[in-house]
Structure 1
Amino acid sequence: MTMKKIHANLLTFAAGVALSCGAAAQAWPVKPVRVVSTFGSGSPADALMRLVGQKLGEPLGQPVVIDVQAGAGGLLGAQTAVRAAPDGHTLLYTISTTLVTTPHLVKNRAVEMKDFAPVITMARAFTCMLAAVSFPPNNVRELIEYAKANPGKVAYGSNGIGGTYHLEMEMIKQKHRVDITHVPYKGGTDGLQAAAAGTIPIAFAPCSSVVPQARAGKVKFMAVLEHKRAADYPDIAAMGEQLPDYEKISGGVDIWAPAGVPAPVLRRLHEEIDKALGQPDVQALMKKIGFPYDGTALDDMAVQRRKDFELAGRAVKIAGLKAE
């Protein structure tokens, strides 16, 4: 076979692949789109997805069905979604930790990030470090100095062993060589309530939950867990301002598709969800529940979550956690 013939065959093959992908995108969706959600019914994240799902129905020409499968740190829903055909008719809606931190904490990984393709990060969740009003330090630098002067006498509350709050604080402790006791709570705001009651000096919680307590004088802000100040909370110093060596495991509300979904379908999904997120009533809901809009590009989301995964793996080792 001549080189010209080989080249012609390759061009024909490439054209066929392009036409096939284009046809797949045009044909999709041909049935209702199922969104497997790992958020509990009635939760703020559930309300957001249901509203976005309603918005998607018209441009897609098919209804969007929310299938709630909460539990097991998001793995229950992820296992369901990963078994679906990679045709764009089944999506996974979950907190980023499901594929970023949870795989490091289980021995037999039923699902991993490589099993999914990114669609969009719908929203970010700003987290704040807070303190009881009676606690002497007023910022993170003062906290570190106080902890060094009082080893083992300071405690912090997190949203559970292996949670993002726990992992980030353990990295801070290692870098600054401080002895601060970890107290895991079951819920994301339990530590906040404990700090407000004065039973624990330091805790972490969504900033939107901390604001009312801070305004009431029950707790005080120490930092927002970002490298730079958040536009939504300009008066709260960023952790990165106070600790230049701070490393953040990014958090967010993500949508993924099973690996293998055609690229044109992924792009269409991303574009339509992004449009829905920009509508006034959706924006109003996101502001109300404290979920700032993100809309990260497909490629950027993939890169960021891979970085988060690697950082979480290192943090798990620092925290001395073992996969179970």
Structure 2
Amino acid sequence: MQQSSVPMAGRSSSVTWECDCLAHRFGNAADNGSRQPRYPTDMTDREWTAVRPLLPVPGWLRGRGGRPEAYCHRAVLDAIRYLVDNGIKWRAIPADFPPWDRVYAFFRRWRDHGLVREFHDRLRARARLMVGRDAEPSAGVIDSQSVKADAVVGADSRGFDGGKLVNGRKRHVVVDTLGLLLGVDVTAADTGDRTAARVLLKQVGDAPVRLALVWADGGYTGSLVEHCLAAFALVLAIVKRSDDMRGFVVLPKRWIVERFFAHLMRTRRLARDFERRTTSAEAMIYWSMTLLMTRRLAPTRPQPA
């Protein structure tokens, strides 16, 4: 396998000219060659080594039909990472990546078949094991974030959040105690937190994740507490802000999900909701978290003791 050392925006990496992805080994990607990593969002060889075994196997390799893919999986993943992190349009993907319509087709296929969540969940399990935690968490934190919506967002999935004075959508999330995503539900901004929580906690409860405890803020009080206990055998613990608190105060456990939202806002595609479909908005959040986790699994700098 030919290799060459190429500088990458403040970090050096060994560039693999002949990729070992499934599209190159068993598909038609060899006809299109390989690209040279050059952007900060491109996976290093260490990241690719960690990611490659966790990628879902394409349907055409499982005998489910379809044409073998003609573009390198690593290049397509790097293209999606570039788009999510830099907030560009699909048609503005740089020319050294595969054609934008092929990248979008890959994104759409992974979105519609749940492959992006499957990939994300495998990365999360590996990231938890790396720091000495169980692969699946038993506790989490739930919260929501309202964001402005772009003009492409239709009235059927847009609303006005009177509390935050935001016209757009709301992201309802559950994260574990490391701040890694367990589940997300994107709705119109006027959807109540307790209403969305019933759907989101059922979604998380149907997954392999078996939560026993979830922390929440005062917006989740009321009948939801009893519903969680009866329907999901889940304790919903309310962390309230004291009436005598003034200014910014770090609240136990709730700061974890606030840090998660801060990460999303640093991902430029998520600074505003640009997606026509809520499923695309949810997929973008999963892709954003894959960037975070691959960097944790294969850090480019020595970690402090």
Higher relative contact order (CA 8 A, sep 6+): 1
Taking structure 2 as the reference length, the TM-score comes to 0.24
Query: Considering only CA atoms, is the larger Rg found in Structure 1 or Structure 2?
Result: 1
